[in-house]
């Protein structure tokens, strides 16, 4: 018996090594945030593929860990006070991993809060708006006679890209000279605009030169290269 046996999700996705972090995810922009962070931090973990294509996230086992039926989620067997920690919401997971290791988040209180505000900018703005744009542009567009929704989210996506473009003026990364969880939260969404939604032309992505250069820098990191494909297809 291990401490993880108390979590119903492990009955569907059993842990091969219950002493390491268990990641339940799928390689979406939100999902890869956590796998990239785990790779950057060098923390041992197991990745379990929760296929949103097969509605795995709606199963009772997954809902026992995240009642909001969204990936990613984790169980860290070595949480606060050495007790197992079950956690969902990608931003909360990134914050926990950074605080657990003392990496990817500045120690200085002001710099820490500055980083966190950009993490929350992604969670509250970039993720929802980019995702809605992608839905109406890539998936629902042919079924819509009125282009208002698509245009609304296109314009808001461009506005948010403009915020990032301004922020990156004179900076290597979102929080300054150091790579942080704010970068990890944001760059997969920009990549998705270009590569998955194929929206470079409609969004005029080359106009955001600093954003695109920063994204390529983030993508080129070895941990990003590994994390972007985790969990792998079965």
Please state, as a whole number, how many other Cβ atoms lie within 10 Å of the Cβ of residue 109: 8
Q: Which CATH architecture has domain 3-104?
A: 3-Layer(aba) Sandwich (3.40)
Q: Return the pLDDT at 123.
A: 96
Provide the residue ranges of all domains of the chain, joining segments of one domain with +: 3-104, 109-223
DSSP track, 120-185 = HHIIIIIHHHHHHHHIIIIISGGG-S-THHHHHHHHHHHHHHHHHHHHTTT-SBTTBSS--HHHHH
Q: What is the pTM of this model?
A: 0.95
Q: Which segments within 37-114 are labelled E, that is strand?
A: 45-49, 73-76, 85-88
- Which positions of the chain have pLDDT values less than 50? none
Q: Which CATH architecture has domain 109-223?
A: Up-down Bundle (1.20)
Report CA-CA distances (Å) from 67 to 61, 64, 83, 96, 112. 10, 6, 21, 19, 30
CA distance 42 to 61: 28
Q: Tell me if 50 sits within 8 A of 57, measured CB to CB.
A: yes
Q: Return the pLDDT at 1.
A: 55
Q: Return the pLDDT at 5.
A: 86
Report CA-CA distances (Å) from 114 to 4, 118, 175, 205. 35, 7, 7, 26
Q: Tell me if 230 sits within 8 A of 33, measured CB to CB.
A: no
Please state, as a whole number, how many other Cβ atoms lie within 10 Å of the Cβ of residue 85: 17
Q: Tell me if 36 sits within 8 A of 188, measured CB to CB.
A: yes
Q: Which residues pair with 25 in a beta bridge?
A: 49
Q: Phi, psi at residue 118, to the nearest 5°?
A: -80, -30
């Amino acid at each position: 018996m291990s401490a993880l046996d108390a979590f119903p999700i492990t009955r569907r996705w059993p842990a091969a090594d219950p002493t390491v972090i268990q990641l339940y995810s799928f390689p979406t922009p939100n999902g890869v945030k956590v796998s990239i962070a785990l790779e950057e931090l060098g923390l041992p973990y197991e990745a379990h593929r929760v296929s949103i294509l097969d509605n795995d996230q709606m199963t009772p086992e997954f809902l026992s860990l995240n009642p909001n039926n969204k990936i990613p989620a984790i169980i860290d067997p070595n949480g606060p006070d050495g007790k197992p920690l079950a956690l969902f919401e990608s931003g909360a997971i990134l914050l926990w991993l950074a605080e657990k290791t003392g990496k990817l988040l500045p120690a200085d209180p002001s710099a820490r809060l500055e980083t966190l505000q950009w993490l929350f900018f992604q969670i509250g703005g970039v993720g929802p708006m980019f995702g809605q744009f992608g839905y109406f542009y890539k998936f629902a567009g042919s079924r819509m006679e009125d282009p208002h929704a698509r245009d609304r989210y296109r314009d808001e996506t461009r506005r948010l890209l403009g915020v990032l473009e301004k922020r990156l003026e004179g900076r290597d990364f979102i929080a300054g000279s150091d790579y942080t969880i704010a970068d990890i939260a944001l760059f997969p969404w920009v990549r998705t605009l270009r590569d998955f939604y194929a929206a470079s032309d409609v969004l005029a992505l080359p106009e955001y030169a600093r954003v695109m250069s920063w994204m390529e820098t983030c993508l080129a990191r070895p941990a990003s290269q590994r994390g972007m494909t985790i969990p792998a297809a079965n």
